[in-house]
Amino acid sequence: MTPVTSGVRGLRVRNRVLPGVAAAAVCIGGVSGTANAAEPVSDPQARQWYLDAMHVDEIWKRSTGAGITVAVVDGGVNPSTSSLKGQVLPGKDFSGVEGDETDDMDGHGTSMAELIAGTGKGGGLQGLAPGAKIIPYRVADRVAEKRYGKVNTEGLAQAVQAAAGSDAQIINVSMGSEYVDDDLLEAIKGARAKGKLVFASNGNEAKKGNKPSYPAYYRETVAVAATNSEGRVADFSTHSDRTDIAAPGADMPGWCDGSLTQYCIRQGTSASSALASATAALIWSKHPDWTGNQVLRVMFESAGRGENWKPGSISKYVGHGVVRPNAHLTRGLGKPGDPDVSPDTGERVGGKPAAATPKPSEGSAEKPESGSPSDKPALAGSTGTAQTADAGDSDTGYLIGGAVAAVALLGGAGLFVARRRRNT
């Protein structure tokens, strides 16, 4: 049995003092879960369990993500892997250390790029949206700080701002922190104002205080939770009323380290965010005249959820449900609706200019209330339903690709601690 690596890698942040929290405590994130010695995965594509569940062969007859560009804000993306050759466009480095955006020191950014747009050539990872392109924006992480000591602590906000000004329609941020960064929030708001969709990983702290993770916790982002290969909401996946949607994130293949010589199995909402970004790319490619608001609304409306899900309710574990690009692309589920109004915040943003635009809410404003204990989401690719339960309710089964599985949703209280880390 291949050991599972479970890492949450730190990202340096600027030294701003928070109430009751020393800035010195902000520097480094910890590891979520137990990290075992990584062993190679000889056939990483065989471990991409979610692709069959999503019925990608049917999806790719209708859309591969062609014409869509995804900005990957991460620790760098190496464009030379067999799966990414020809898929990566020029980006920019904001890490403050030697090298450029193509130098991936720990394999994380390259893994996210392959999950989104990898071609699968040479036995590498098969991306969910292989027709899409990637623009890498490198920011410093814990690996960079340990190696170089001094890094650019403002890189994340700068990278998102640069991505907002690029040709990318989608921005993927598979990292997070309990630290509130006003500059990062403004960069995300700027991206949304320009019509971009910003996806962020929810975090892996469900069993460690269930701490909120930024930028996912900002209402302007699409916060993505994780599910696993057994049909369960991943036990590490951070949950809250800010959760927007879920995607597979457990038992996922990715590069073991920056040498890019072998794949390992990883756990984390980083991969979930990447797959949500890829889902948006598939839908947007099919409807290039839509706004980001319409793409996101269709993602919400076509997400997997059970027959007894109350209309208008949102689960704190899976948000609107679990991504199902096939539900829209092959069956037409989901209506695009108003091009100018965000389905996430209800505000007029990222669409056509309006005569009267409501004043944007602050990043701390609440998202809609979570759903009731009777919420019933379904897993990615499912054509059936999932009986789920909030904390305290019993599990029941559902169908996904003909296999019976159970869904377990964990409870937990949220705490604020100022640390930044990678969500994988």
Report the catalytic residues: 74, 108, 270
Among candidate residues 283, 305, 300, the one with its CA nearest the CA of residue 227: 305
Is residue 73 within 8 A of residue 139, CB to CB? The reply is yes
Q: State the Cα–Cα distance between residues 270 and 278, nearest whole angstrom.
A: 13
Name the residue among 98, 87, 42 with its Cα closest to residue 64: 87
The residue among 419, 352, 382, 66 whose CA lies nearest residue 214 is 419
Residue 87 exposed, middle or buried by CB count within 10 Å (0-12, 13-18, 19+): buried
Are residues 291 and 350 in contact, defined by beta-carbon separation less than 8 angstroms?
yes
Q: Is the dihedral of CA 255, 104, 181, 69 positive or negative?
A: negative
CA distance 359 to 356: 9
Structure tokens at 325: 């690009």
Cβ–Cβ < 8 Å for 72, 110: no
Secondary structure (DSSP) of 158-193: HHHHHHHTSS-SEEEE-EEESS--HHHHHHHHHHHH
Q: How far is CA 392 from CA 317, 389, 412, in A?
A: 14, 7, 11
- According to DSSP, the residues that pair with 245 across neighbouring strands are 224
Separation between Cα atoms, residue 30 and residue 26, nearest integer Å: 11
Contact 302, 326 (CB under 8 A): no
For the chain, how long is the longest CA-to-CA vector?
60
| Count of alpha carbons within 13 angstroms of residue 187, beta-carbon side | 24
* 124, 83 Cβ separation under 8 angstroms: yes
